[in-house]
Amino acid sequence: MNETMFGDLSGVREGLAKVEYLADDGIASVVFLAERLGKPVLIEGPAGTGKTELAKSVAAMSGARLIRLQCYEGLDEAKALYEWNYKKQLLRIQADRGVDAEHEDWVELQDDIFQDEFLLTRPLLEAISAEDKVVLLIDEVDRVEIETEALLLEILSDYQVSIPELGTIMASQIPLVFLTSNNTRELSEALKRRCLFLHIDYPDLEREKQIVLTKVAGISENLAEQIARVVRSIRQLELKKAPSVSETLDWARTLVLLGIENIDVEQAKETLHILLKYQSDIEKAAKELTVEA
Amino acid sequence: MLDLLSGFVGELRNAGLPVSLTENLDAMEAVKHIPIEDRDAFKYALAATLVKNEQHWRAFETVFEVYFSLRGPEYNVGDEEGNGEFDPDNLEEWMSQQMQGMGGRGGGQDMSPEEIAEMLFRALLNADEAMMAAMARAAVTQFAGMEPGRPVGGTYYLYRTLRNLDLDGMLDRLIEESSQRYDGEMTPLAERLEREEFENRIEQLKREIEAEIRRRLVADRGVEAMAKTLRKPLPEDVDFMHASREEMANIRKAIQPLTRKLAARLARKRKHKRRGPLDFRATVRRSLSYGGVPAEPRFRHPRPNKPELIVVADISGSVAAFARFTLHLVYALQNQFSKVRSFVFIDGIDEVTHMFQNEEDITNAVHRVNTEADVVWVDGHSDYGHAFGVFWENFGKDVNAKSTMMFLGDARNNYHSTNAWVLKECQKRARSVFWLNPEPRSYWDTGDSVITEYSTYTDGVFECRNLRQLEGFVDNLA
């Protein structure tokens, strides 16, 4: 194992800060442990809180290649693990036929066409067989059916892929694996057991302010503070969809572009549609902001 | 350390968290890599390996606080004093330094309640966390009146402390003070934000006080006893009938994914059922890759028939708490299924589909159902028989082979006639009929409950008192 990847806990945090990802204690500890224990991390939390971003940032920070598998309903092993390139196999057989058909018998041919050459690697197999450092991101794992989840188990616990015709391919080095889930359904126990669990929630006031300061160019500290406060206030309302961090950033950029330095109610109301995406939510928030507390 | 950890895991299991053996081993492995002095990192390491569900986080945190509260360097209360009495020496010295700025009062003697209030006020105003923590301790010492061995719960001490602090008055003062800083020129928005900020700080103070009381209780009574008294049911085990407001909010959040699951289950059944007729064009196209031999026949996808859901829910007083939950469930279902028709009844029955459909906001919808729905026929006591009779008369024709019916209620019929034939007819026509009963199974068929009579004509009656059982029901559907 590449023990030297991160020095210690604070190393993780600083490293992530360098690639503009502000980790809190929980995030830093889990990333650190994942690397030390060689276990995958299952990240859960509301949409837009930086789950995918974390995997990307870890890749950027450690200089590893990011391999991403986007999950969707109907994903199968041909798209996630590997597939035989049957067209090429077919060509191979036909190419033989003309020359010396008597020469080769079936067994030889079979050995021949089930080889690496005819194997199309898909993200999971690619991550396993990679020689260089990789970070594997399995995005929105809750979208696949519960049966397909089982595909992942072998990789996640043993870092290997079994191909019936070829045998088992072991990982040459253990990649860092991140799985993200929006919690639309309960994941299976078997999958959870194999992972470290990390729940990323909306950041607290101070961290959100720091995120805004880091990510938005030319914003004043005063404005960032106000933005973070307004957003927190809005999140406390009962909404269909609370504003995410990325929406906070969009809003901050808008305010900077408009040259606003102090948010007042009118400006807030006019730009609410950036923060909230449902008409009913916008109306509700606008009403709440106007009424005196 | 090993003993401590296994005791900790044991307590987590007692609290109902599913911790497997491998997870236990992972935790042991994980803490090796973490410097033990770093309390937060230690906590997160345990959480990442042992807790795999965000809803269990609070239960975990409580157990963690109990088990490791006396072991951090900054919490040197307890062990050596043994009796849980707080040693105020260092604190007072430190505080007297702080008080210099306030006109040099104080000094060595005990602080009066006014002084505590004043210092707390300043701590809150300046968001001075160390000061807030110190004041929380002082307040507990001063007001809670804790005595070793006294058989009172932590909430009692909490209540006593908070009553003496008068935090509501504190909040008003804080806002006044800060608005003076702005020379009274505060916009409503700024004022609102300021108020929220202070509310937040006070909330933090309350947590601090709670933690302080817990620490002392642990020192007094020992870890195991404390862990036991603090044990609370997990969100999925909370009884709908006796859920507190906060628990109800949690349940509501959990319903969303559950209905999606239900929809997926019903939809999947559809998908796996039967392939459609042969698709001639696609088969010919496919055959080209086999040199014109139609080796792989293709079929049309069957037309997905959309499941219809008919929900009939009792909203009478005897199931009032359950009804609240029921309405939320119905609302959530409405978003998942293309066709949901919902009916509510007490002794009369009324269709409320439109109230849910045109309402974006769930609380409004529930309010409308409770006020507008015409569900009282004679006296407003449950009469399942009459309600079902009317249902069949008016809406019976809408039940067809596509519909799945869900009845929600305790089947306490006040000794009226049951009209069970309605369910029999429904079962004949509908795809399936389910009944969810919020009462414990042992109460069924006692008194005026007639659940068995109805259950003969359903595809299953399920006890449904908490989320776990509801989830079990959804799983059973597949």
**How does pLDDT run across A100-123, given as a tens digit for each residue?**
555 556 777 777 778 888 888 888
**Per-residue pLDDT at B417 exceeds 70:** yes
Q: Quick one: average pLDDT of B429-450?
A: 85
From A193, A268, A292, residue closest to B20, measured CB to CB = A193
Q: Considering the entire predicted model, what is its pTM?
A: 0.73
Residues B228-251 as b/e (b if ≥16 CB within 10 A, e otherwise) read eebbeebbbebebbebeeebbebb
User: In this structure, are A160 and A277 located in the same domain?
Assistant: no
B41 touching A, CB under 8 A? yes
**B196:A184 CB<8 A:** no
Question: Per-residue confidence at B98, pLDDT binned at 50, 70, 90?
Answer: very low
Percent of chain A whose predicted confidence (pLDDT) is above 70? 94
Pick from A198, A226, A268: which is nearest to B48 by CB? A198
Most confident among A100-109, B52-61, B266-275 (mean pLDDT): B52-61
CA–CA separation, A127 vs A135, rounded Å?
Answer: 8
Query: What domain count does chain A have?
Result: 3
pLDDT number for residue A177: 92
- Using 50, 70 and 90 to split pLDDT, how confident is the model at B331? confident
Residues A86 and A190 in one domain: no
Q: What is the ipTM of this complex?
A: 0.81
Instruction: For residue B15, give the nearest of B48, B49, B76, B64 by alpha carbon.
Output: B64
Q: Between B439 and A178, where is the model more confident?
A: A178
Whether A42 is in a domain gets the answer: yes
* Residue A4 placed within a domain: no
What angle, 0 to 180 degrees and rounded to 10, lies between the N-to-C axes of helices B39-50 and A25-37? Answer: 60
Tell me the range of A256-260, B75-79, B355-359 where mean pLDDT is highest: A256-260
CA dihedral A58, A61, A62, A66 (to 10 degrees): 50
Question: Is the CB of residue A136 less than 8 Å from the CB of residue A176?
Answer: yes
Calculated CA dihedral for residues B366, B370, B374, B379, nearest 10 degrees: 150
Which of A107-111, B152-156, B410-414 shows the highest mean pLDDT?
B410-414
Nearest to B333 by CA among B279, B242, B261: B261
Q: Which residue range is the domain that position A257 belongs to?
A: 205-290
Per-chain mean pLDDT for chain B: 75
Question: Residue B52: which of A145, A197, A240 has the nearest Cβ?
Answer: A197
Structure confidence by residue, pLDDT tens digits, B222-231 = 777 767 776 6
In a mutational test of the B interface, the residue from A1, A72, A193, A200 whose CB has the highest number of chain B CBs within 10 Å is: A193
Query: What pLDDT digit, counting tens, does each position of A10-34 carry?
Result: 888 888 888 888 888 888 889 988 8
A-chain residues within 8 Å CB-CB of B471? 186
Choose the final residue of a domain: A199, A225, A259.
A199
Best mutation target, B25, B192, B265, to test chain A (most A CBs within 10 A)? B192
- Tell me the CATH number at A63: 3.40.50.300
Residues A113 and A31 in one domain: no
In a domain, A151, yes or no: yes
Which pair of structure tokens corresponds to residue B471? 């989830």
Sequence spans of domains, chain B:
2-68, 89-232, 245-273+306-477, 276-304
Task: Report the percentage of chain B scoring pLDDT > 70.
Answer: 77
Compute the distance between CA of residue B133 and CA of residue A97 in angstroms, rounded to an integer: 84
- Examine the domain organization and report whether A35 and A176 are in the same domain: yes
**Nearest CA distance, A100 vs chain B (angstrom):** 22
Residue A2 lies in a domain: no
Q: Is the pLDDT of residue B478 over 70?
A: no
Q: Looking at CA atoms only, how far is residue A44 from chain B in angstroms?
A: 8
- pLDDT above 60 (res A241): yes
Q: A153 and A272: one domain? A: no
Domain boundary among A178, A199, A220: A199
Q: Min CA distance, B404 vs chain A (Å)?
A: 22
- Quick one: pLDDT at residue A23? 85
The residues in A 177-216 lying below 8 A from B, measured between CB atoms, are 183-186, 189, 192-193, 195-199, 205
pLDDT band at A137 (very low <50, low <70, confident <90, very high): very high
Residues of B in contact with A232 (CB under 8 A): 196
A 10 A CB-CB count for B333 gives 21
Looking at the structure, do residues A42 and A156 belong to the same domain, yes or no?
yes
Q: Do B196 and A236 touch (CB under 8 A)?
A: yes
- Domain shared by A146 and A49, yes or no: yes
Q: Is B257 within 8 Å of A226 when comparing Cβ atoms? A: no
Which of A34-38, A144-148, A215-219, B318-322 shows the lowest mean pLDDT across its residues? B318-322
- Which residues of chain A form beta strands (DSSP E)? 41-44, 65-70, 82-84, 119-121, 134-139, 160-163, 167-170, 176-181, 196-199
Q: Is B272 on the interface with A (CB under 8 A)?
A: no
Residue in A with minimal Cα distance to B19: A193
B38 → chain A, closest CA residue: A9
Q: How many CB pairs under 8 A join A and B?
A: 105
Residue B217: band (very low, low, confident or very high) from pLDDT cuts 50, 70, 90: confident
Select from A37, A187, A195 the residue whose CB has the most chain B CBs within 10 Å, as the one to mutate to test that interface: A37
Q: How many C-beta atoms surround the C-beta of residue B85 within 10 A?
A: 16
Q: Do B196 and A293 touch (CB under 8 A)?
A: yes
Using a CB–CB cutoff of 8 Å, tell me whether B267 touches chain A: no
Which of A272-276, B242-246, B354-358, B390-394 is least confident?
Answer: B242-246
**pLDDT for A180:** 92
Residues A162, A22 share a domain: yes
Query: Which residues in B lie closer than 8 A to residue A240 (C-beta atoms)?
Result: 360
Question: Between B288 and B132, where is the model more confident?
Answer: B288
User: Is B31 an interface residue toward A (CB < 8 Å)?
Assistant: no
Query: Rounded to an integer, what distance in angstroms lies between the CA atom of residue B204 and that of residue B128?
Result: 12
Last residue of a domain, one of A148, A183, A199: A199
Query: For the sheet containing A176-181, what is the strand order?
Result: A65-70, A134-139, A176-181, A41-44, A196-199
pLDDT at A222 over 50: yes
What average pLDDT score do residues B273-294 get? 79
Instruction: Find, among A255, A107, A91, A198, the residue nearest to B54 by Cα.
Output: A198
List CB contacts of A131: < 8 A, sequence separation 6 or more. Answer: A172
Regarding whether A278 and A236 lie in a shared domain, the answer is yes
Class level of CATH domain B245-273+306-477:
alpha beta
Contact A30 B44 (CB under 8 A): yes
List the one residue out of B373, B450, B437, B380 whose CA is nearest residue B407: B437
Is there a single domain that holds both residue A239 and residue A139? no
